[in-house]
Amino acid sequence: MADRLGMDPARIERLRSPDRLEYFDPDKIWNELTPPPDSTVIDIGTGVGFVALPFAERYPDATVYGCDILDGMIELLTEDAGARGLGNVHGIVMQPNSIDLPDGSADIVVMAQLHHELDEPVPLLTECKRLLRPGGTIAIVDWADADNGKSPPVGRRVPVARLQDDLTVAGFAALALHDVYEFHTFITGTA
């Protein structure tokens, strides 16, 4: 059984809360990117699958890899995917900055509310580039760096310039901002 120690139950509840949909509906990512229905998507820092599970439901012909450094998160993701009858979700316990999948595995890599937790984002973004096929898309969503009454304290927010710098250093091009969230920055880049 996975070690769930260190997984704060209140945090799990927050990650699962449908209240999040009011300000961070992951469907908006896919409305913007319009992925082919048989896409392969890697969700890094998947948590309990707030992004991965609805994507897998919306696109039953897609393949979804949900990756997290906590095996307890992957256990919860896998349990929920099974309960919802989603055979297209595969949980992977990853190492920091390393996922056991071949080069060019994915059409899209998504990282939602993870960037602000990373002390050194570039090694993980470089791994994202390796995992994407040439021309594939990285999609990052994280708290906007603004005092807007919703975003968390400064340490948990990410300035757009930092996202742009980190993505550029990792080798991504054609960076684009998507103005679909009130309290989050949504940025994409091309591998």
Return residues touching ligand SAM (CB under 6 A).
15, 44-47, 50-51, 68-70, 73, 94, 96, 112-114, 117-118, 124
Q: Which is nearer to ligand SAM, 95 or 148 (CB)?
A: 95
Q: Which residue has the tokens 């509906």?
A: 25
Closest approach, Cβ 17 to ligand SAM, in A, equals: 10
CA dist., res. 41 & res. 65, Å (int): 6
What is the widest separation between alpha-carbon atoms in the chain? 43
Which pair of structure tokens corresponds to residue 127? Answer: 């791994």
Closest approach, Cβ 84 to ligand SAM, in A, equals: 16
Closest approach, Cβ 30 to ligand SAM, in A, equals: 14
Q: Which is nearer to ligand SAM, 79 or 174 (CB)?
A: 79
Closest approach, Cβ 146 to ligand SAM, in A, equals: 18
Beta strands in 99-144 (DSSP E): 106-112, 132-143
Q: Which residue has the tokens 């009858």?
A: 85
Q: Please, are residues 131 and 105 in contact by the beta-carbon 8 Å criterion?
A: yes
Q: Which is nearer to ligand SAM, 50 or 172 (CB)?
A: 50
Q: Which is nearer to ligand SAM, 62 or 140 (CB)?
A: 140
Sign of CA dihedral 135, 141, 142, 147: positive
